[in-house]
């Protein structure tokens, strides 16, 4: 029998402010241990999809009005964002949300807020984060607001790791970073996937890099999935090349 996917989104509709229909029936699956890319232009609905999953829409007056979302086969639409973090599903927001006035290490510690397994375990995981991001170890006492964009993105991912997630929803990890740093971030995503078994759903406008690291991709246009497939197939697809990879 096929394994239950870690995440399954079934035909969801999202409406903002009671009238603005933004997701018009989105379905997608992230298999256990998968890296799945959610692709599409600015405004297609990628962030909305991630926030619908992690239940972060309410503060934006958005609402899932149809469909269902399952984490490891269990419905989660009614779970709060914090409950989801406890159950192993966490979102890393677009724009590297860090606490600018806190040090990098303090930022990482805030990521452990849902845990009840004590200081020693938290300390161990912090060392694990520093092993993945040696740059963060070097800069642990720096105020996050004064570190580089790449370091802030690393801090945001490191902070999420402190909750011991099974699944990370990663919004635009490459945004605003130089190509070499984008590559560095995606290499770490791959390592976390292979070594820690973390599954990823990543929203990206950078189709090229996302399809090199993802196993599977979905393309979102105006709130609908218009194409999906194995990443290597999508990379060879003529429409994807023309419209998303910028090659004639
Ligand atoms: P981006 O690259 O900007 O993150 P995206 O693909 O993630 O783009 P969303 O941010 O999900 O797209 O936005 C999808 C659509 O929903 C856009 O048309 C946007 O204007 C609209 N939208 C987003 N947030 C709200 C909101 N709080 N209220 C009303 N409309 C919104």
> What are the CA-CA distances from residue 49 to residues 54, 125, 198, 247 (Å)?
9, 29, 19, 27
Tens of pLDDT along 69-86? Answer: 999 999 999 999 999 999
Q: Does ligand 1 have an atom closer than 6 angstroms to the CB of 95?
A: no
**Buried b / exposed e along 215-244 (16+ C-beta atoms within 10 A):** bbbbbbeebebebbbebeebbebeebeeeb
For residue 95, what are the CA distances in angstroms to 32, 54, 176?
Answer: 27, 17, 9
CA–CA separation, 227 and 210 (whole Å): 15
Least confident of 82-86, 94-98, 99-103, 121-125: 94-98
**C-beta of 173 in contact with ligand 1 (< 6 A):** no
Nearest residue (CA) to ligand 1, atom 9: 45
* pLDDT (mean) for 155-164: 95
Please report the atom of ligand 1 found closest to the CA of residue 48: 11
Residue 46 in this model has a pLDDT that exceeds 60 = yes
CA distances, 84 to each of 74, 164, 235, 238 (Å): 11, 12, 33, 38
Q: Which class for 118: exposed (0-12), middle (13-18), buried (19 or more C-beta within 10 A)?
A: exposed
Can you name the residues that pair with 112 across neighbouring β-strands?
none
Does 16 sit in the ligand 1 pocket, CB within 6 Å? Answer: yes
CA 92 to chain centre: 5
Confidence (pLDDT) at 204? 96
Give the per-residue pLDDT at 246.
67
Residue 113's pLDDT is what? 82
Averaged pLDDT, 42-69: 95
CB 170: neighbour CB atoms within 10 A?
Answer: 27
Q: How far is CA 208 from the centre of its chain?
A: 17
Mean pLDDT across 13-34: 97
Q: CA-CA distances (angstroms) from residue 237 to 36, 116, 241?
A: 17, 47, 6
85: tokens are: 């973090």
Tell me the per-residue pLDDT of 180-229, one tens digit each, with 9 for 90 and over. Answer: 999 999 999 999 999 999 999 999 999 999 999 999 999 999 999 999 99
Distance of alpha carbon 202 from alpha carbon 36, whole angstroms: 6
Is the pLDDT at 108 greater than 50? The verdict is: yes
Q: Could you give the CA distance from residue 8 to residue 28 in angstroms, rounded to a whole number? A: 6
Mutate which of 9, 12, 16 for ligand 1? The one with the most ligand atoms within 8 Å of its CB, which is 16
Report the distance separating Cα 229 and Cα 240, nearest Å. Answer: 11
Tens-digit pLDDT profile for residues 24-37: 999 999 999 999 99
Angle at 115 between CA 111 and CA 121, to 5 degrees: 90
Enumerate the H helices of 115-198 as residue ranges. 118-132, 134-138, 149-161, 179-196
Average pLDDT, the chain: 93
Q: Using a 6 Å cutoff on CB, does residue 40 contact ligand 1?
A: yes
Question: Between the ranges 14-28, 90-104, 114-128, where is the mean pLDDT highest?
Answer: 14-28
Pick from 91, 88, 66, 69: nearest CA to 78: 69
Read off the tokens for 83: 């409950």
Give the pLDDT band of residue 238 (cuts 50, 70, 90).
Answer: confident
Q: Tell me: pLDDT of 247 over 60.
A: no
């Amino acid at each position: 029998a096929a394994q239950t996917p870690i995440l399954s989104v079934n035909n969801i509709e999202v409406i903002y402010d009671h009238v603005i229909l933004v997701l018009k029936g989105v379905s997608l699956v992230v298999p256990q241990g998968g890296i799945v890319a959610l692709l599409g232009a600015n405004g297609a609905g990628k962030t909305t999809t991630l926030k619908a999953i992690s239940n972060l829409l309410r503060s934006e007056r958005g609402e899932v009005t149809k469909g269902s979302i399952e984490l490891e086969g269990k419905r989660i639409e009614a779970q709060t964002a914090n409950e989801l973090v406890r159950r192993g599903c966490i979102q890393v927001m677009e724009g590297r949300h860090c606490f600018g006035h806190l040090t990098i290490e303090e930022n990482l510690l805030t990521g452990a807020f849902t845990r009840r397994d004590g200081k020693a375990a938290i300390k161990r995981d912090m060392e694990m984060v520093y092993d993945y991001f040696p740059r963060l170890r070097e800069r642990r006492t720096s105020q996050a607001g004064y570190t580089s964009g790449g370091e802030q993105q690393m801090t945001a991912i490191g902070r999420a790791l402190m909750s011991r997630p099974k699944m990370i929803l990663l919004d635009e990890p490459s945004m605003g970073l130089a190509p070499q740093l984008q590559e560095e971030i995606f290499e770490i995503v791959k390592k976390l996937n292979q070594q820690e078994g973390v599954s990823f759903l990543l929203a990206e406008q950078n189709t090229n890099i996302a399809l090199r690291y993802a196993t599977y991709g979905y393309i979102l246009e105006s709130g609908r999935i218009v194409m999906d497939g194995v990443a290597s197939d999508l990379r060879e697809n003529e429409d994807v090349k023309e419209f998303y990879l910028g090659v004639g």
